[in-house]
Structure 1
Amino acid sequence: MQLENDIRFTLEVLPNNSHIKAAGQMITDSDSMAFIYLLEDEAGYHYLKFGQEVWPLLVNTLKAVEDPSLQLADKELTLHGFKEELNMLIFNIEGNDNYGADFSKAVEQAFSEILKA
């Protein structure tokens, strides 16, 4: 959901642990054509996966002033480092087939507006 410059993601399935927090790191799953933001708690990591269908919203997220937030039932969690991590990844992926040619091409097309800026 986007409200002007406020971008908020919502989890449909809530984790059992209410002590979950933003890890401030993002990785890729090039086989699934997705970016994955890491959440953590005392048991380990949880993965917030952003597939190609939401990449246009990720472009808007990079243009926003603040990092997006995640709505977990009645709790709102700021996804610290989201924009910085995503920006770093897309610039690293550009022209880099180590992520797989299909993934690189898809990222270059979806984030062309950011890469040209």
Structure 2
Amino acid sequence: MRKTYIVDSGVQNGSDIRFLLQENPQENEVKAGGQLITDSDNYAFVYLMDVVDGYIYVQFPKTVWPLLAASLDADKEPVLTWGQTEFSLDNFREELSMLIFNIEGNHNYGEEFSSAVEEAFKEQLSLS
């Protein structure tokens, strides 16, 4: 079973966006994986972090979607502050952008999830 960590908050200072995890990683040698997927059942986006024996999930629930949307307008990747460690979330903005445009009008993710994504990212989707 893969370990899942849930981002509980974040902060924005200009184009600097930081997502916060309060608990310290239990794994050694954690690296940004550069891939973002969805968890439509839990209304979340999930960033994959590489570890020695595979990967772990960092879940971004709907409560932090406003910061996800802001990260698309920023000029650099957001940072994950995890205990005392900081990770640049490589490829985050490109992956998120690709996902929201794929989800728009696509009810394969579930109609409620698709609608929630369209509402949360309506400004970014209107720019296409």
Q: TM-score scaled by structure 2?
A: 0.88
Structure 1 runs (4+) greater than 6 angstroms displaced: none
1:113 counterpart residue number: 123
Partner of 1:91: 101
The aligned residue for residue 66 of structure 2 is: 56
Aligned residues: 117
Return the alpha-carbon distance in structure 2 between the equivalents of residues 29 and 73 of structure 1.
Answer: 24
Q: 9-18 or 46-55, which moves further after superposition?
A: 9-18
Q: Distance in 2 between matches of 1:114 and 1:16?
A: 35
Give 3-state SS (helix, strand or coil) of 1:19's partner: coil
Contact between 2:24 and 2:84, CA under 8 Å: does it hold in 1?
no
Q: CA deviation at 1:53?
A: 0.8
Show the counterpart of 2:31. 21
Structure 1 residues not aligned, in runs of 5+: none
Which structure 2 residue ranges, 5 or more long, are not aligned?
Answer: 1-10
Matched residue, 2:44: 34
Letter of the 2:90 counterpart: H
Partner of 1:65: 75
- Aligned partners of 1:33, 1:116: CA distance in 2, in Å? 21
- The reply to whether residue 79 of structure 1 matches residue 89 of structure 2 is yes
Aligned to 2:17: 7
Report the alpha carbon displacement of residue 35 of structure 1 after superposing the two structures with TM.
Answer: 0.4
| Cα distance in 2 between the residues matched to 1:81 and 1:4 | 20
